[in-house]
């Protein structure tokens, strides 16, 4: 599963130019755990997280999120 685009909370879509790295990680600010995708969007590096659902049945497999800059 590789992300191609993300939609910001105001509805603005951003195309992911490139995925640089994927590794298991903890989202320190948001408090989730899953996979951290290091991505390029408009030439800027950012981190996109995928947190897997603990429920093994059903259609919901997890959630994507980006931590806010401090």
The verdict on residue 45 lying in a domain is yes
**DSSP per-residue letters across 51-70:** EE-S--SSS--EEEEEPPP-
**Range of the structural domain that residue 35 is part of:** 17-66
pTM of the shown model: 0.80
pLDDT digits (tens, 9 = 90+) for 52-66: 877 777 777 888 888
Beta strands 44-52 and 62-66 are antiparallel
Q: In terms of C-beta density within 10 A (0-12 exposed, 13-18 middle, 19 or more buried), how is residue 37 classed?
A: buried
State residue 20's pLDDT score.
Answer: 97
State residue 35's pLDDT score.
Answer: 92
Structure tokens of 68?
Answer: 């806010």
Q: Residue 5: count other Cβ atoms within 10 Å of its Cβ.
A: 9
State residue 29's pLDDT score.
Answer: 62
The verdict on residue 6 lying in a domain is no
pLDDT digits (tens, 9 = 90+) for 6-50: 998 899 999 999 999 999 987 666 666 789 999 999 999 999 999
The verdict on residue 35 lying in a domain is yes
Structure tokens of 61?
Answer: 């497999």
The verdict on residue 1 lying in a domain is no
State residue 13's pLDDT score.
Answer: 96
Please state the domain count of the chain: 1
């Amino acid at each position: 599963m590789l992300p191609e685009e993300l939609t910001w909370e105001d509805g603005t879509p951003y195309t992911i130019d490139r995925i640089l790295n994927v590794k298991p990680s903890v989202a320190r600010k948001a408090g989730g755990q899953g996979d951290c995708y290091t991505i390029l969007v408009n030439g800027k590096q950012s981190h996109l997280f995928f947190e897997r659902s603990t429920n093994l049945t059903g259609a919901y497999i997890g959630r994507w999120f980006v931590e806010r800059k401090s």
